[in-house]
Structure 1
């Protein structure tokens, strides 16, 4: 059979489309949703300028941007999470949490809006903030927008901490990252909350306030 050039182009296009559909995963979808949400947040932030964000304004913007990103990827959302996914609260909570994890790691603007929502209108005094220390072995420092410190607590448990602010000796640690893998460390942390897109619910994260080499 002779395949004409025009027919070959059609076949290649169909193959590419089918290949994409077969390789679409929750991870790749949530990366797309997070990227679109982050772009929207960055545009909103640029338009907002240096004005202080109220809790309600920040929350409204995050919900709006995440909703726009889901709308643009609706067919893919239905493909991955099911045709009736938007009507399933549990699935939407799951998607929001998975997308939120990506946003925390890749989108500093998202963290700015999240902190604005946590910082204002919080009835809990700052002195009552939950804090603690976790001991384990340094595993990795990951993330492209917000750094995530991973340590191994024991053979079956790992712990993650958001590294978003300066703390004593942080520059010294950053200067020897390649030597820290496997080192015993004690991480001091405080609990913070960030809003998860779409779910309108807050997720608690542990933020690094200090790291001690043991």
Structure 2
């Protein structure tokens, strides 16, 4: 097993406080991105961390169920094993039907619940969920790999020289039509582009206009 020395909950909390609203404002400007604007149009009141993750997943074209699953507030770990079809890759199970009624969370790996909430907040659940990949030395699932890599690099400030924990599996070559192994990249290009765009936007957003 491997782990990170970063205090994930503390760093995530500070990062969201520092740049969460800036990220929301950036996505408001992407009027041509229908998936992002559909979320913005629903209103962004409530849990800022949850909305930021929603916007990131929409931007990257990833479905939220690639990372989290909503369940009834009274679901127990045995219920998950017996009555839910939970993927083998890690999932953050949010109990309460919707984020406004969230009362607690669980994390599953290989369809088994491995831990439950102490603090009943989405942010604490996300921090624990992210830490799982380092504690168990797991790669990010493809369904949410862009969002998780963004969280790793922008919110948790882990900049591995060997790239991300995104999977480097097999893909179909557009040139030859044959199955080939993906080459590991230092940073996913889509994540890198968003990080750069956000830095530029954040600079403009925070720098006050000169007095006339």
TM tier relative to shorter chain? under 0.3
Q: Which entry has the higher C-alpha Rg, 1 or 2?
A: 1
Structure ranking higher in helix proportion:
1
Structure ranking higher in strand proportion:
1
User: What TM-score results when the alignment is normalised by the length of structure 1?
Assistant: 0.25
User: What TM-score results when the alignment is normalised by the length of structure 2?
Assistant: 0.25
